[in-house]
Structures are given as structure tokens and as C-alpha cells.
Amino acid sequence: MAEKVLGVLGGMGPLASAQFMVRLTLLTPAERDQEHIPTVLWSDPRVPDRTAARLGGGEDPLPALLRGLRGLEAAGCGAVAIPCNTAHGWFAPMQTATRLPILHIVEAAAADLRRQGVAPGPIGVMGTAATLAMGLYQEGLAGAGWDCLVPTSVEMARLVTPAIAEVKANRVTEAYAPLAEAARALAARGARAVVLGCTEIPLGIAAGPALPFPVVDTIDALARAAIGWARAPDSI
């Protein structure tokens, strides 16, 4: 394990990737520094807004993403985790451009649904408007039998999108109430669990009382996938 170095392409947003580092550390079984996972975090919050690029003709983030991947390659990393769901809209061109395996956040979320024993059937997914519009989770989870309910466009505009912006502006506490309301609405429509499919969302949800149904924290899910990679003796 000691010689495998994890690369983290982060900064999208910066608080989410910082929290990814915290959770990666706390979820790693270790008794001393030297048993933790060597990691290089490339936190580049200058990457152009992924949602604006996908939905509004904003600047393409791919060049900045590829710069980060090259930086992680040069640093000696053996695999890459990207704690930003929307950035996975560029997964294919990123994976084509690097020899490093990229751990896919939707696969990590699916593994966490299984870990929590969530049976096939209706689940909820919250995310940026771009993540939902591109069907990242709807397509990624359909094969395993999970049917994704998503917030209505009114719920997105009134609750989810503003709350994500609050977290990016460091107003984490203010994000709890709108995010919890949107998650409860999905549960009321039949979701057996809710995937927090934008890494800002678990930061807001953690600022208040726990929700009374299973949630998949995609920061934690990706951290668990990264630990699995680092600890597998014969992994990629």
C-alpha cells in the first residue's frame, strides 16, 4: 500500500475536496501517520463552472481538468478520484487523456447503495441541474435496477441550486433547510434512499439533523472507493 499514491482532482468546490481529504483520512483504518494513504490533492477552483458549460454555453472546463490530470501524473499518482459529480460529465475525454485509472463517482455511489442494503426500485437523486440533465445517475444506476426520481424544476430553482451556491460561498449552515426539504420531498414521492449527487450537498446536509431515510454521501462513497483502491494489493 505504502507506495500507491492517490491523486485527487479537486477544487470543485474547494470545500468539498477538503472534506474529501478529511473523510478519506477518518475512514482509513490506521494507528499512525505512516499507515495513512499518500495523496496529492490538486485543488483548482479556477476550473470553469461545469454547470454553466453544460447548460449555458459557458467556458469549457476540459482544458483545466486535463491540466490537473497532467499535474497528478507528474506527481507520481497511481489513480485519480474527482470529488465533483458534474465534472464526471467529462469522464470519457478525461479517461482517454490519461493513463491513470479514474475512480467513477457513480460507481462509488452504487457500491454505497449496496453497502447500505438499498434494494432495487425507486431512489432519489439530488445534484446540479447539469448532473441531472445529463442523466449521470439515471443512466448509471438503471442497469442495477435503481430508478432515479429527481427534484422538480421548481424544487431545483427554489431549493437545490441556491443551496449549492450557499455552500460554495462558505454559508454551509444556511444550506441545510432547503436541501433537507428537497430530500424529504423525494422520499415522500417514494424514494427509498437519496443520493446526494453533488459534493456540496452532503456538506449542507451535515449541518443539521440526520434525515430519517438512507442517504448516499458521494464524498464518503468516493473516499471508500479510493481506500479500496489503495488497500487492494493487486489493484490497477
Catalytic residue among 198, 201, 215, 225: 198
CB of 206 to a copy of itself, least distance (A): 12
Amino acid identity of residue 71, one-letter, is G
Near a copy of itself by CB under 8 A: residue from 119, 139, 147, 170 = 170
Which CB atom, from 23 or from 104, has the smaller least distance to a copy of itself? 23
Burial of 79 (0-12, 13-18, 19+ CB in 10 A): buried
Choices 6-14, 112-120, 179-187, 214-222 (CB under 8 A): range interacting with a copy of itself: 6-14
Choices 25-33, 96-104, 124-132, 177-185 (CB under 8 A): range interacting with a copy of itself: 25-33
Decide: 236 and 101 in contact? Cβ < 8 Å. Answer: yes
Catalytic residue among 15, 79, 80, 84: 84
Q: Going along the chain, which residue ranges are E strands?
A: 6-10, 39-43, 79-81, 102-103, 121-126, 146-149, 194-196, 215-217
Residues 173-192 that bind a copy of itself (CB under 8 A): none
Dist CA 94 CA 90 (whole Å): 6
> What torsion do the CA atoms of 202, 224, 61, 195 make, to the nearest 10 degrees?
-40
Cell of 168: 460554495
Choices 165-173, 190-198, 208-216, 224-232 (CB under 8 A): range interacting with a copy of itself: 165-173
**Active site includes 77?**
no
Containing 111, the helix (H) or strand (E) segment is helix 105-115
Decide: 192 and 214 in contact? Cβ < 8 Å. Answer: yes
Near a copy of itself by CB under 8 A: residue from 30, 142, 157, 232 = 30
Residues 38-67 that bind a copy of itself (CB under 8 A): 38-49
Dist CA 206 CA 202 (whole Å): 6
CB of 197 to a copy of itself, least distance (A): 18
Residue 142 contacts a copy of itself per CB under 8 A: no
Near a copy of itself by CB under 8 A: residue from 9, 17, 205, 230 = 17
Dist CA 127 CA 156 (whole Å): 9
Which CB atom, from 41 or from 182, has the smaller least distance to a copy of itself? 41
Closest CA to 47 of 74, 77, 86, 6: 86
Which CB atom, from 44 or from 181, has the smaller least distance to a copy of itself? 44
Active-site residue numbers?
A: 84, 198
Interface ranges with a copy of itself (CB under 8 A):
2, 11-15, 17-19, 21-22, 24-26, 28, 30-49, 71, 74-76, 165, 168-170
